């Protein structure tokens, strides 16, 4: 029983609860509540995976219960399906407005109840996997920070710069959000670089620099082959963010649009934040000084269009910088 998902069934009519129990008891662990107040208490104590909730109950209605759940960060992701005799479009609109994910009308059909519950539990599982994947990526990004002089705030700023520039360039909101989460992985390969090189205060020797240039390849190897769009993007960013528009970058010497767009965006975002941030080995550059450098590198290090977008949207970029100030 412990491996079965848990449902909370809420209805002030015992007959309705018995009907739902008959339909669902073979596949799920079931909790029962006959009022909104009792339902909220059980949610806190048992943490069900999904709630089937009657609307018209004395005292606290189903709408009230759902609104309370969605107002709390601890329970706002808990899916609520209303089970109700109400069929008016206005009633359904109100239910979705307070956060319900679906409606089942009474008298219920066993096949419909099973299908709706299974569908929404699958969506919950998919969302949990996505959140877990994001957390793994974020933690790997933090692991790279421990090997470098960079700070977590640098990673936050440059990731948000990258998301903003992606939208300005014309990428979709979904692609831009993926880049926001993939960008922190750009330097994950530094985990494989010796501290004597990575933390060296002076100029690197030719041999040391050659070893440093391996970190994009190491990063791509760490991320590996993935079936996730997000992780594939993270691999692209890790592997190509040191390529330059004129072909003088590393590790492959790609040029122009042969460099994946996501990596070109991260390159601009990373350098802009690095230059405008203080580090143990350097002072922060001023904004105008940084822009002069970025302009000088148009067509050399950076794609010209991205530098132009950075300047055109400078107030937005500086607002991000202020939000994540050190």
Query: What mean pLDDT is predicted for residues 300-314?
Result: 98
What lies within 8 Å, CB to CB, of 35 at 6+ separation is 10, 12, 57, 58, 59, 60
**What global pTM score does this model have?**
0.66
Query: pLDDT tens-digit profile of 27-62?
Result: 999 999 999 999 999 999 999 999 999 998 998 999
Query: pLDDT tens-digit profile of 278-287?
Result: 876 678 999 9
Q: What is the pLDDT of residue 211?
A: 95
Q: Across all residues in the chain, what is the average pLDDT?
A: 90
Query: What mean pLDDT is predicted for residues 186-200?
Result: 89
For residue 68, name the pLDDT band (cuts at 50, 70, 90): very high
- What is the full DSSP assignment across 55-88? S--SSS-HHHHHHHHHHSTTTTTS-EEEEES---
Closest alpha carbon to 57 in 22, 84, 32: 84
Query: What mean pLDDT is predicted for residues 237-253?
Result: 97
Give CA–CA dist 82/38, Å, rounded.
17
For residue 208, name the pLDDT band (cuts at 50, 70, 90): very high
Give CA–CA dist 148/99, Å, rounded.
44
In this structure, of 155-159, 223-227, 264-268, 302-306, the range with the lowest mean pLDDT score is 223-227
179 vs 135 pLDDT, higher one: 179
Query: What mean pLDDT is predicted for residues 310-326?
Result: 94
Is the confidence at residue 310, as pLDDT, over 70? yes
Distances (CA, A) of 177 to 134, 151, 161, 229, 321: 11, 21, 11, 12, 18
Q: What is the pLDDT of residue 159?
A: 93
Q: What is the pLDDT of residue 151?
A: 59
Query: pLDDT tens-digit profile of 108-159?
Result: 999 999 999 999 998 888 777 777 777 777 777 767 766 665 556 888 899 9
Q: What is the pLDDT of residue 60?
A: 93
Query: What mean pLDDT is predicted for residues 241-246?
Result: 98
Is the confidence at residue 107, as pLDDT, over 60? yes
């Amino acid at each position: 029983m412990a491996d079965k998902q848990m449902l909370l069934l809420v209805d002030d009519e015992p007959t309705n609860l018995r009907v739902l129990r008959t339909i669902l008891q073979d596949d799920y662990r079931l909790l029962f509540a006959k009022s909104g107040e009792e339902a909220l208490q059980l949610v806190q104590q048992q943490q069900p995976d999904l709630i089937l909730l009657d609307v018209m109950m004395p005292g606290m209605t189903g709408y009230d219960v759902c609104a309370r759940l969605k107002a709390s960060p601890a329970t706002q992701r808990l899916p609520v399906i209303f089970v109700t005799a109400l069929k008016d479009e206005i009633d359904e609109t109100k239910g979705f407005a307070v956060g319900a994910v679906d409606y089942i009308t009474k008298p219920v059909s066993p096949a419909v109840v099973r299908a709706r519950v299974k569908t929404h539990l699958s969506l919950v599982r998919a969302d949990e996997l996505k959140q877990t994947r994001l957390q793994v990526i974020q933690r790997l990004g933090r692991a790279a920070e421990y090997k470098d002089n960079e700070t977590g705030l640098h990673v936050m700023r440059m990731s948000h710069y990258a998301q903003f520039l992606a939208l300005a360039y014309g990428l979709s909101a979904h692609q831009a959000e993926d880049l926001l989460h993939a960008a922190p992985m750009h330097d994950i390969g530094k985990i494989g670089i010796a501290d004597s090189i990575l933390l060296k205060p002076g100029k690197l020797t030719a041999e040391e620099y050659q070893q440093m240039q391996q970190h994009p390849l190491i990063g791509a190897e760490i991320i590996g082959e993935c079936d996730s769009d997000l992780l594939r993007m993270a691999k692209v960013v890790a592997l190509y963010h040191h390529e330059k528009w004129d072909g003088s970058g590393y590790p492959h010497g790609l040029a122009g649009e042969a460099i994946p767009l996501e990596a070109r965006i991260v390159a601009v975002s990373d350098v802009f934040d690095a230059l405008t941030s203080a580090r143990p080995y350097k002072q922060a550059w001023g904004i105008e000084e940084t822009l002069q450098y970025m302009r000088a590198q148009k067509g050399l290090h950076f794609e010209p269009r991205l530098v132009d977008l950075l300047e055109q949207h400078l107030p937005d970029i500086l607002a991000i910088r202020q939000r994540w100030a050190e």
